[in-house]
Structure 1
């Protein structure tokens, strides 16, 4: 299951994988996100809050789906990943192989810093 919410007037999408991830859930999320991308042309950022997701190896295999379908990742300027998992340090290198956006990890207690980084790309 994937929960989501919007920040900064639909400029930043936050997703929270909270259970096993299935392709149908990504398609359902994409159906809600696509109209926003069509309206704005892009999204400032994607915040992946992975605090409740324990399947990092499965998550890595799901990365291409995580940024939806049909190359939506090209419409994000930045992606922030929130987690205290030790593998977090390797996520940017992994994600950079799959997405066009700049990717950066953040510890769970730095959610505000992650949102600030997403909001103001350099």
Structure 2
């Protein structure tokens, strides 16, 4: 059986799965509830509680689950999976990164923590004018698609107001991307603006420097230098 109720976080729903799930549960309960939520919000946060009392899937239910996910692939903002079912927990941990949105797995006694995670802010991109035509871009935590959407608006505004652009890219607190959708948005943002900067300074640890070098060398035509995380002052002096 599947029960769907409004979630506590904004633009969210709670989904509880118990007993043995059927294709009819997906078609008659979950699919209409998700579609109704997406008519109000562009993306939806979902808390999925599987158990206690979960007995698995009947024939056809897994296929209905897959079809539902694929048909709303870009409609998920974040998914919290709360379960005591080992194989589901392991599967989500292995394949969660392939989802188009952040996915995190919680134990059954962590349902309140799961709700807090759905409601909290994840990674962020801070843009600050650093004098003249220099824009400092600080990437913090694990980034999701919403962070790129907010950053792109400010980046475009800065470009409109300045004849040239130099980027100071601060990766010292950057932890990566929340799913493939955010990674795709990163490459999209780079592709759309790659001709614009004249200079780029990248500050971060060795691992992120190597990644930035691979990305920027492919897309960006600017003069670029890489600085260790302890050399931020040197990067600032060079970019200005």
Q: TM-score, normalised by structure 1?
A: 0.73
Corresponding residue of 1:91? 212
Aligned partner of 2:136 among 5, 11, 14: 14
Whole-angstrom CA distance in 2 between matches of 1:89 and 1:69: 16
- Larger proportion of strand: 2
Give 1:1-122 correspondences, 5 Å limit. Answer: 1-9=124-132, 11-43=133-165, 45-55=166-176, 62=183, 65=186, 68=189, 71-89=192-210, 91-119=212-240
Q: Provide structure 1 residue ranges, at least 5 long, that are not aligned to the other structure.
A: none
**Distance change in 2, residues 1:70/1:94 (3 Å):** closer
Superposition TM-score, scaled by structure 2 size: 0.41
1:62-111 CA deviation, whole Å, 9 max, x = no partner? 48726836722322111111112345246324411022222221012211
Moved over 6 A (4+): none
The count of aligned residue pairs is 114
Residue 31 and residue 55 in structure 1: after superposition, are their counterparts in 2 closer, same or farther (change >3 A)?
A: closer
Give the Å deviation of 1:37: 0.9
> Are the equivalent residues in 2 in contact too, given 1:46–1:118 (CA < 8 A)?
yes
Rg: which structure is higher? 2
Q: Give unpaired runs (5+ residues) of structure 2.
A: 1-123
- Where relative contact order (Cα < 8 A, 6+ residues apart) is larger, the structure is 1
